[in-house]
């Protein structure tokens, strides 16, 4: 692939580029993170109050290997199902703040599954990638009647969703037919963060970063029929925006069905927080992808 030549950045500038909270125009870096956590928590509390839920469903034997399922009241067995993978730089947040997007989707007859995984420092990158892959296998085994499987991930979760798309399923019992993937403000090449604060709890070596970078695993993309949406915030940092642009171009060059959404008037956090709103552009796009608009 033709990569854009990057002028090497000094460590301070690299850290600034990979600190999403420093690029929000709405409030200070500390405040935007606090507001983000509060928004996800309140959205998830509302979803748990108004939908049927199955909480802490195990998909493996590990402590962190659990799912929360938000179920529509519809009795039809043929419902689309979206698996949501949370952000938090592989070291914050959990499935317990990841049901916020469920209300507008469940109302339209979509099952929403929020996946927990072992964040750093307890979990490492190889383990997290293995966990989300196994969670997808488990969901398919538990919900065999779904009409279509979709992925949605934000930030670190978009990276993990992209790693699910680039899975060699021959080592699993099942090969999921993923119909769509919604990758929001993600990182698709892990090398630039190796020397930043982000890697301190992750402790990734270059080998680990390379084998877990979706931009380097294009030949393993298993679902040519999968519609992939790469979404990025207007006020994401230039490096975050470049990551999305380059991954989009790589997918397009590989002949995949992919579209690019540059979402105006959003930052790294509001771009995903607004999925609580059925009128929000990305909510409508996600429902349309699933044939539920």
Residue 76 has pLDDT above 80, yes or no: no
pLDDT digits (tens, 9 = 90+) for 40-74: 999 999 999 999 999 999 999 998 999 999 999 87
- Assigned CATH for 11-289: 3.40.50.1820
Task: Count each helix (H run) and each strand (E run) in the chain, helices first.
Answer: 10, 8
Residue 1 has pLDDT above 80, yes or no: no
3-class DSSP assignment, residue 64: coil
Residue 5 has pLDDT above 50, yes or no: no
Nearest residue to 270 (alpha-carbon basis) of 132, 102, 87? 87
Q: What is the pLDDT of residue 7?
A: 59
| Enclosing H/E stretch for 126 | helix 125-142
DSSP string for residues in 146-184? -SEEEEEEETHHHHHHHHHHT--GGGSS----EEEEEEE
Residue 6 has pLDDT above 70, yes or no: no
The whole-model pTM stands at: 0.95
pLDDT mean across residues, the chain = 93
Nearest residue to 178 (alpha-carbon basis) of 85, 39, 261, 116? 85
pLDDT digits (tens, 9 = 90+) for 7-44: 567 888 999 999 999 999 999 999 999 999 999 999 99
pLDDT digits (tens, 9 = 90+) for 157-177: 999 999 999 998 888 888 888
Token representation of residue 83: 């698996």
What's the whole-number mean pLDDT along residues 114-138?
Answer: 97
Structural domain spans, the chain: 11-289
Q: Which residues are catalytic?
A: 155, 236, 268
């Amino acid at each position: 692939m033709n990569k854009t030549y990057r002028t090497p950045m000094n460590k301070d500038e690299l850290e600034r580029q990979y600190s999403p909270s420093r690029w929000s125009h709405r409030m200070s870096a500390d405040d935007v993170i606090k507001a983000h956590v509060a928004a996800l928590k309140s959205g998830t509390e509302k979803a748990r109050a108004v939908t049927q839920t199955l909480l802490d469903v195990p998909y493996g034997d590990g402590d962190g290997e659990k799912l929360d399922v938000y179920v529509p009241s519809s009795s039809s067995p043929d419902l689309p199902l979206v698996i949501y993978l949370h952000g938090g730089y592989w070291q914050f947040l959990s499935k317990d703040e990841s049901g916020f997007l469920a209300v507008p989707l469940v109302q339209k007859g979509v099952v929403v599954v929020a996946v927990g995984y072992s964040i750093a420092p307890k979990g490492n990158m190889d383990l997290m990638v293995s966990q989300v892959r196994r969670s997808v296998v488990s969901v398919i085994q538990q919900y065999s009647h779904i009409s279509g499987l979709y992925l949605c991930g934000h930030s670190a979760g978009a990276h993990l969703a992209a790693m699910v798309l680039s899975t060699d399923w021959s080592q699993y019992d099942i090969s999921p037919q993923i119909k769509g993937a919604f990758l929001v403000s993600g990182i698709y090449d892990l090398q630039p963060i190796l020397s930043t604060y982000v890697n301190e709890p992750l402790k990734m070596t270059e080998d680990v970063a390379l084998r877990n970078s979706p931009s380097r695993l294009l030949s393993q993309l298993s679902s040519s029929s999968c519609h992939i949406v790469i979404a990025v915030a207007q006020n994401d940092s230039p490096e975050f925006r470049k990551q999305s642009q380059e991954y989009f171009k790589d997918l397009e060059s590989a002949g995949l069905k992919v579209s690019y959404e540059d979402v105006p008037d959003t930052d790294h956090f509001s771009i995903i927080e607004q999925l609580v709103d059925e009128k929000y552009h990305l909510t409508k796009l996600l429902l349309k992808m699933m044939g539920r608009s």
